[in-house]
């Protein structure tokens, strides 16, 4: 299969690298020229949970038009850039191109659908952890499951094919019939973990070591769960607070993506995580003061970058 990975950050490289090793034609697309050049010259280096290897049989480019038409586009750009990235990649779209978003936050499905058409879009969530170590070099920090599904819940051949392909590439993958509920459940974990770790500098697991951060995590997630309920979203986890705490424990040593972003003075995904809950809450009449506070504090940090 010809696969384009839109956004060759740590997660994009992890998935793209493993799919290339499994024999697929993989193109990594990213704006970071030094990263692209390094991969084309030296290959993609992956270290971590499954040992260290260099994947040579993979291509990278800054220009989507170099790729031609793709069978599968895996969207891994930061969620705030999804619309722009997909608009800039229309040359990838052929008659049977499918887009898969495995990104954090809300709004990715809608942004991709606006450009490519909703029928092309499959969504999913991943619990793998990956960190960018430098150009062409990532660390696979933690294993986890991947769940993917059609937006309407139908179990189609294409989603079964993709799941089989991911399993062959070493990603333990399930097909689910409530992928929107999965996306929102993952959102609960990001709501409870990302901003708090970015504000405190703590690793995910450490949030549970302090009464204050544990309490804020609980309050933020409860607000978000109320928003989900009012919106009619059926979460895939029974107790969103317990689920979030479980994610903290499973990814205890992780520095969350938002902590990595503020450390490197990059724009964070706050607007599509806690910020999105605030906006949804406003529309539905659900108060979200903790999420509003977290959003405002992260916004101030972003504004103060120099
Ligand atoms: O998705 C994550 C992130 O950092 O964005 C979690 C689940 C919090 C793991 O670090």
Whether the Cβ atoms of residue 75 and residue 99 lie closer than 8 Å to each other: yes
Indicate the number of domains in the chain: 2
| Residue 285 within a domain | yes
Element (H, E) at 4: strand 2-6
Stretch 117-125: mean pLDDT: 97
State the closest ligand 1 atom to the C-alpha of 257, by its place in the atom list counted from 1.
4
Is 152 in the same domain as 18?
yes
pLDDT in tens, 182-240: 999 999 999 999 999 999 999 999 999 999 999 999 999 999 999 999 999 999 999 99
Confidence of residue 141 (pLDDT cuts 50, 70, 90): confident
Indicate if the pLDDT at residue 163 is higher than 90. yes
Is 39 in the same domain as 124?
yes
Is 10 in the same domain as 115?
yes
Confidence of residue 72 (pLDDT cuts 50, 70, 90): very high
CATH number for the domain spanning 187: value is: 1.10.1040.10
Is 164 in the same domain as 190?
no
Whether the Cβ atoms of residue 289 and residue 219 lie closer than 8 Å to each other: no
Active-site pick, 45, 78, 111, 186: 186
The rounded distance, in Å, linking the Cα atoms of 39 and 28 is: 9
Indicate if the pLDDT at residue 127 is higher than 90. no
**DSSP structure string for 217-253:** HHHHHHHHHHHHHHHT---SSS-HHHHHHHHHHHTTT
Is 208 in the same domain as 93?
no
Examine the residue annotation and report whether 33 is marked as an active-site residue of this protein.
Answer: no
Show the ligand 1 pocket: residues with CB < 6 angstroms.
104, 129, 189-190, 193-194, 204, 247, 251, 254, 256-257
Tokens read off for 213: 């951060």
CA distances from 145 to 38, 74, 96, 124, 270 (A): 29, 17, 27, 10, 24
| Residue 7 within a domain | yes
Is 122 in the same domain as 271?
no
pLDDT in tens, 237-253: 999 999 999 999 988 88
Q: For residue 89, give its domain range.
A: 2-177
The rounded distance, in Å, linking the Cα atoms of 173 and 170 is: 9
| Residue 290 within a domain | yes
Pairing of strands 53-55, 44-48: antiparallel
The rounded distance, in Å, linking the Cα atoms of 6 and 174 is: 22
Stretch 93-99: mean pLDDT: 97
CATH number for the domain spanning 19: value is: 3.40.50.720
**DSSP structure string for 269-284:** SGGGTHHHHHHHHHHH
- Candidate from 7, 249, 251 with most ligand 1 atoms within 8 A of CB, to mutate: 251
SS percent in the chain: helix, strand, coil, step 5 = 50, 20, 30
State the closest ligand 1 atom to the C-alpha of 256, by its place in the atom list counted from 1.
4
State the closest ligand 1 atom to the C-alpha of 254, by its place in the atom list counted from 1.
10
Q: Model ipTM?
A: 0.98
- What pLDDT was estimated at residue 251? 84
| Residue 306 within a domain | no
Is 65 in the same domain as 170?
yes
Q: Mean pLDDT, the chain, as a whole number?
A: 96
Indicate if the pLDDT at residue 285 is higher than 90. yes
């Amino acid at each position: 299969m010809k696969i384009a990975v839109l956004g060759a950050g740590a997660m994009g490289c992890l998935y793209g690298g493993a799919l290339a090793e499994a024999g697929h034609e993989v193109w990594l697309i990213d704006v970071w020229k030094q990263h692209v050049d390094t991969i084309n010259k030296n290959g993609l280096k992956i270290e971590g949970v499954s040992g260290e290897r260099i994947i040579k049989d993979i291509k990278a480019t800054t220009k989507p038009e170099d790729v031609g038409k793709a069978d599968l586009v895996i969207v891994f750009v930061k969620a705030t850039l999804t619309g722009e990235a997909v608009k800039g990649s229309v040359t990838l779209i052929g008659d049977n191109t499918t887009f898969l978003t495995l990104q954090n936050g809300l709004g990715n499905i809608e942004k991709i659908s606006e450009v490519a058409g909703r029928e092309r879009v499959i969504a999913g969530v991943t619990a793998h952890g990956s960190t960018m170590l430098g150009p062409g070099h990532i660390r696979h920090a933690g294993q986890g499951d991947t769940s993917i599904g059609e937006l309407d819940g139908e179990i189609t051949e294409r989603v079964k094919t993709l799941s089989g392909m991911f399993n062959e590439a070493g990603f333990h993958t399930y097909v689910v019939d409530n992928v929107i509920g999965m996306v929102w459940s993952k959102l609960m974990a990001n709501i409870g973990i990302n901003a708090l770790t970015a504000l405190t500098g703590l690793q995910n697991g450490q949030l549970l070591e302090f009464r204050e951060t544990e309490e804020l995590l609980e309050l933020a997630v409860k607000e978000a769960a109320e928003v989900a309920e009012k919106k009619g979203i059926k979460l895939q986890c029974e107790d969103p607070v317990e689920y979030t705490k479980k994610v903290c424990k499973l990814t205890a040593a992780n520095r969350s993506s938002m902590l990595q972003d503020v450390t490197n003075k990059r724009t964070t995904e706050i607007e599509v995580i806690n910020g999105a809950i605030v906006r949804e809450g406003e529309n539905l009449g659900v108060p979200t003061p903790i999420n509003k506070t977290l959003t405002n504090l992260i916004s101030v940090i972003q504004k103060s970058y120099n």
